[in-house]
Chains A and B, each alone.
Chain A
């Protein structure tokens, strides 16, 4: 440990204390509040199994919203990510595109949902629009970063044939970045399912609408049914995406390893 490091750690701790004081963080309140948690947990054990069917139907709606949002969002973000990649277009193209994407990302999806509820009214459609915006901002960024890390050799080799930019994108950029894209689609879908569960809080449809209403009326036993369904579905999606990742992405990573071998 150098004195410089000690000083740095000291500064970070001081900032933590000052910030905690400023926001009124009080550990005593936390400890005193624990019995309240016990009451909620106790009420949650009074599960109402009859609601499971409603819960699964509303979860199905949530999944459909997430599916549409992810698919349309990725479709829009794909061309945008090409225009935002520094190794494909000049700064006159990528700088404005990146600025737009950064602006889209500044709003969390719940703010987009509020905006779209005002625009198109309560219901799942507003939620879908919010998911699309969030997906575009996020996936386009991840994807242009993936494009920029593509090995420059296949690009140079194909560019030297004198092909057009669109041919370069179609035959080098897309296949080379495909494993990243697949990984992002899976992650985004999973993330969007969780997100869409929340969007109901502002009236944008899905399972969150039920959860927030039951919590508002202190019916924790009913709310927990919906929460369990969210937990179950997210775990299933996670498990499926791990399988898909193993099948398609790990294999191509393995391919990259083999490239470095000098001979058979």
Chain B
């Protein structure tokens, strides 16, 4: 990637009528004085891969939680598929069924099997009695096994989570999200702490799923190189503010928006993040 081609002139303003995420001037705070996120505005096109890059503590995980309704902004507006997130709203709850969220620690249940963890993604489609007695319809079990094969876990369906390696656990988390038949996939630091070969295998899985299921994948990373390699757009977050947004096509940078940064500052930041 020739980053030195970057100029400070924004060239291709993206036009899209189908936005999956819209944020306008969003602030979030854990207490009344300190903001975790400040003045965040962004919009994400349906069917793309969007990566948020930032160092730990920059607020990027918080940003991801705004995108599935698990958090609400203290100021500003968030729209997910043109709806305001509200966990008590039935219509929004239906939408949550279609948002696959993989937290940094993956959120798997350790004492149950790979297959059972995957089937959790099918819970919204299950009736009350069926879910109480863990009776999953045959077609859901077939679907789960198909997805597990797709993510490379064939033959490990009946292992417990604590018997798996770090890379395999990430595959289970992806399988659970895919089991939701999602339109939006959110992944928080899914390849951190993995070696580069495994990290790329995991990223390829997500890219493949994004293409075949035509979903939108929004990921949080701290590795700028990996972000530029896989994303259609990359946003850089520093101390709770979006300081940079890059549009990528192949190995070309097609759109570039900054605040009042000089190119030296951008390069400095780039070197810090890689």
Q: Which residues of A contact B (CB under 8 A)?
A: 151, 153-164, 166-167, 170-172, 175-176, 178-179, 251-252, 254-256, 258-259, 261-264
Contact = CB atoms under 8 A, between A and B. Distances in A.
B90 to A, nearest CB: 10
B249 to A, nearest CB: 31
B131 A166 contact: yes
Contacts of B70: 156, 159-160
A162 B97 contact: yes
Given A176-B109, A176-B111, A259 B162 contact: yes
Which of A154, A159, A170: most chain B Cβ within 10 A? A154
Nearest to B94: A162
B160 A255 contact: yes
Interface in B165-215: 165-169, 173, 176, 180, 193-195, 198
Chain B interface extent, by class: 35 or more
8 contacts: A153-B104, A157-B173, A159-B70, A160-B68, A172-B109, A176-B111, A254-B162, A258-B162
Contacts of B69: 160
B124 A162 contact: yes
B102 A157 contact: yes
Contact of B109 (A154, A167, A261): A154
Interface in B81-117: 87, 93-97, 99, 101-112
B161 interface: yes
Contact of A170 (B87, B99, B131, B198): B131
A171 B162 contact: no
Given A154-B108, A166-B128, A259-B110, A171 B123 contact: yes
B165 A264 contact: yes
A162 B107 contact: no
B3 interface: no
B121 interface: yes
Interface of B: 68-70, 87, 93-97, 99, 101-112, 120-121, 123-124, 126, 128, 131-132, 134, 160-163, 165-169, 173, 176, 180, 193-195, 198
Given A176-B111, A262-B166, A158 B120 contact: yes
Which of B68, B107, B126, B193: most chain A Cβ within 10 A? B107
B110 A163 contact: no
A58 B168 CA distance: 54
Nearest to A155: B107
Contacts of B121: 161
A36 B132 CA distance: 62
Nearest to A172: B109
Given A167-B131, A263-B195, A263-B198, A160 B99 contact: yes
Contacts of A172: 109
Contacts of B102: 157
Given A171-B120, A255-B111, A162 B195 contact: no
A263 B109 contact: no
What are the nearest 5 A-B pairs in CB distance?
A255-B162, A157-B107, A162-B96, A264-B165, A262-B193
Nearest to A171: B120
Contact of B194 (A155, A157, A161, A263): A263
Contacts of B93: 162
Contact of B105 (A153, A161, A167): A153
B166 A161 contact: no
A170 B102 CA distance: 20
A162 B195 CA distance: 33
B147 to A, nearest CB: 15
Contact of B111 (A155, A162, A179): A179
Contacts of A167: 123, 126, 131
